[in-house]
Structure 1
Amino acid sequence: MISVIKGKDIVYGDRGRGRIRVSAVAGVYMLDGGQKSYSEILDGAQSSMSLARYVKHVPYLFYDAETIKLSEQSKSMETHFDEALKNGEFIALYQPKVALETGDLEGAEALCRWKRGGELIPASSFIPVLEKSKRICSLDFEMLRVVCADMKRWTDGGVTTVPVSVNFSRKHLTNPNLAEDIISTVDSYEVKHDQIVIEFTETASESDQVRLAQVVKKLEESGIRTSVDDFGSGYSSMCMIRDIPFNELKLDRSLIESETDDDDRSAAMMKHVIALADELGMSCIAEGAETEDQIKLLEKFECMRVQGFYFDKPLEKDVFMQRLLNPHYERR
C-alpha cells in the first residue's frame, strides 16, 4: 500500500497548477493474543508511525521493545528541550570547507550538538524529534546566535574569519518575517553579512518554493548568502535551482559515494549537476568527501570545494579558531 501511495502527485487549484508530492509511512502493532484496549493499540501504532517518519526514516516500523525505547527517548528530549535551550546546552562544531586548488580554508558549516551531562549528543538523535514541531525553529535561531557570538569573539580578538553556514528547517517558511529575523539576529552581533550563509534543504511543495524564493531574495539583497543543502536527495531539485537564486549548491553525499570513473551512473549524475551549477552561476561544494579517489573524481568534474573527513572532522570552537589562524591544509 505504501509503495502505491508514495511518490504520487496530487494536482489541485485553478487549472491544476498546484501540485503536492505524497509521502507515506506506517506504524504496525502486532496483536499477540493478550488483552489490549483500542487506545493502547492505536497509541502504539501512532508512536511507531511517528518514529518511522521522523527518526528512523523508514517506510514502516513495528511496535516493539526498541520502538518503546526510542519513543521514551524522544519524549525525554522534547521534555528537556526548553530547559536545555535556556541553559545554553546546544553548541556548534565547525566542519571546514576547503578549496582543492590551494588547500586553503574557505568556509565552514556549523553542526549542532547537544552538550548534556558531559556528553555530546549527535544531531541525528534529536533533530528528527524537534522537526516534528516548531521547536526546530527555536533551535535554528539558537545556532545562528551561537555562531554569531563565536564569530564576534574571534573578530574582536583580531582573528580573520571565513563564511559559516547555518542550517534552517523548512518549518520556518510559515514565518512571514523570516528574512528580517535572520538579518536582525546577525546585526545584533555586529557580524558582517557576507560571513553568514543560510542553508535550506530541498522542498517538494510549490507553495514552500514560492515563500523560499522570497526569503532567499531578501537575504541576498542584504548580503547574506544562501545555499541549497543535500541537492539531489529530493524530487524538486531542478525546479528549486531554476526558480530560486541560491548562491551555493551542496551536493548530496549520496552522489559522491562512488569512487569510480564517469561510466558509473552516480558519477555521471554528479558530473552534470556540477556543470549545471556552473552554468547557473552557483558555486558548488561536495559534502562527505572522505577518500583520495573521491577527491580525484571531484577534481576531474571541476568541483573544487569540498567538506568532509578527508580534510577535517567537525571541530570545537577553540580548535576551529586555531585553524583560522593556520588556514591551510596539505593533501595526504
Structure 2
Amino acid sequence: MESKNGFKGGIVFYEADLGARTIREAEIENKMEQALQNKEFIVHYQPKYDLNTEKVAGAEALVRWNSDKGLIMPGEFIDLFERNGFVLKLDLYVFEVVCADIRKWLDEGRKVLPIAVNVSRLHLLDTDFVSEYGALISKYRVPPELLELELTENMPMASEDFLVEVFNNIARLGVSLAIDDFGSGYSSLNILHTMPFDTLKIDQMFFQNKTGSERGRRIIETVVLMAQKLGITVVAEGVETKEQVAFLKAIGCNMVQGFYFAKPMPSYEFEHLLSWEIL
C-alpha cells in the first residue's frame, strides 16, 4: 500500500488495526455459541469490603472466557456481545452459575454473602427477562437477598413508565438493584429519582488521579451524602490506594471494591478467603 509519507502511512496502520479487529471479532463470533455449550465461560468473584470493618461484605461476579488459546478477558468480547445480542444468553448463563454456587455454599454450610451480577441493558427490553431470572432463583432455592443485579445508568431507549415497571418487577423478585458506573452518563440524578435502586456504585474515573483534586473530592463527597439521605448504599469501585481508602472512609462511603483489597478470583479462592475470615 501507499505508505511513503506519514499521513498515508497512518491510514495504512489504521486500516491494518481495523482489519485485525474485524478478523478477531469474526473469530469470536464463530466460537461463542460452542464456547457457551462447552462451559468455557467461567465466573470469577471480586470481593467487596465493608469500610468500617474492612471485612468482606459481598462480591461481584465477573465473567472470563477460558478458551483453548488461554484466558480471554471481558474487554475483548463484551462490547461485541452487546452489539450482536449474545450478551443476553451469556448474562443468563452467568446468573445460573452464581445461583448454583450460592446453593452449593449453602448446602455445605459455608458463610454466604450477597453476590452482584451484571445485567446488560438489553435485558430491560426482553419481556422474558424477569421470569427467566425468577425461575433460576426458584430452581436453585436461592434466598433473593443474596443476589444483586447491577445495571449501568445508560438505559435503553424506552419510555420512563416502561422502565419503571420493569424495575419494579425486578424488585418483586426480592433481589437488590445496583446502578453501576454512576456518574459516567448524563442522567444520573433522574435515574435515582425514578428507579428503585438499593446500591450506587461510583465510577472508578472519580478515583484515577483525582484523590488530590479538590473538585473530584467534592463530587464524591456530594454523591455519598446524597445517597445517604436517600438510604442508598454506596460502593466505590476501582479503589487502588491506601489514600483512597482513607478518604472514602472519612466521607462515609459504605463499601469498596478494587485491587487494593483483592482482584477477581475463582470461586474456590473466594471460598478460601471467606473461610479464613471466619477463623
TM-score, reference length from structure 2: 0.91
Equivalent position of 2:41 in the other structure: 90
The aligned runs of 1:1-332 (5 Å cut-off) are 63-117=14-68, 119-203=70-154, 207=158, 209-260=160-211, 264-327=214-277
CA-to-partner distance for each residue in 1:177-220, whole Å, 9 max, x for gaps?
Answer: 32222111121111111111000011255626543322221222
CA-to-partner distance for each residue in 1:280-307, whole Å, 9 max, x for gaps?
Answer: 1110000011100111111121103100
Contact 1:173/1:211, CA 8 A, preserved across alignment:
no
SS in 2 for 1:326: helix
Aligned residues: 271
| Amino acid corresponding to residue 313 of structure 1 in structure 2 | K
- What CA distance in whole angstroms lies between the structure 1 residues aligned with 2:156 and 2:93? 26
- What CA distance in whole angstroms lies between the structure 1 residues aligned with 2:238 and 2:176? 21
Contact 2:121/2:156, CA 8 A, preserved across alignment:
no
CA-to-partner distance for each residue in 1:108-139, whole Å, 9 max, x for gaps?
Answer: 00010000116211100110111112101101
- What CA distance in whole angstroms lies between the structure 2 residues aligned with 1:117 and 1:205? 34
- What CA distance in whole angstroms lies between the structure 2 residues aligned with 1:158 and 1:208? 44
Contact 2:151/2:179, CA 8 A, preserved across alignment:
yes
- What CA distance in whole angstroms lies between the structure 1 residues aligned with 2:174 and 2:159? 22
- What CA distance in whole angstroms lies between the structure 2 residues aligned with 1:196 and 1:70? 36
Name whichever of 295-304 and 216-225 sits farther off.
216-225
% identity of equivalent residues: 34
Name whichever of 299-308 and 108-117 sits farther off.
299-308
Shift of 1:260: 3.4
SS in 1 for 2:58: strand
- What CA distance in whole angstroms lies between the structure 2 residues aligned with 1:222 and 1:316? 27
Name whichever of 169-178 and 159-168 sits farther off.
169-178
| Amino acid corresponding to residue 194 of structure 2 in structure 1 | D
Between the two structures, name the one with larger relative contact order (CA 8 Å, sep ≥ 6): 2
- What CA distance in whole angstroms lies between the structure 2 residues aligned with 1:317 and 1:160? 13
- What CA distance in whole angstroms lies between the structure 1 residues aligned with 2:77 and 2:42? 13
Name whichever of 300-309 and 201-210 sits farther off.
201-210
Contact 1:225/1:247, CA 8 A, preserved across alignment:
yes
Any stretches of 5+ residues in structure 1 without a counterpart?
Answer: 1-30, 34-61
| Amino acid corresponding to residue 175 of structure 2 in structure 1 | I
- What CA distance in whole angstroms lies between the structure 2 residues aligned with 1:119 and 1:138? 22
**Which structure is larger by alpha-carbon Rg, 1 or 2?**
1
SS in 2 for 1:198: strand
- What CA distance in whole angstroms lies between the structure 2 residues aligned with 1:148 and 1:208? 31
Equivalent position of 1:48 in the other structure: none
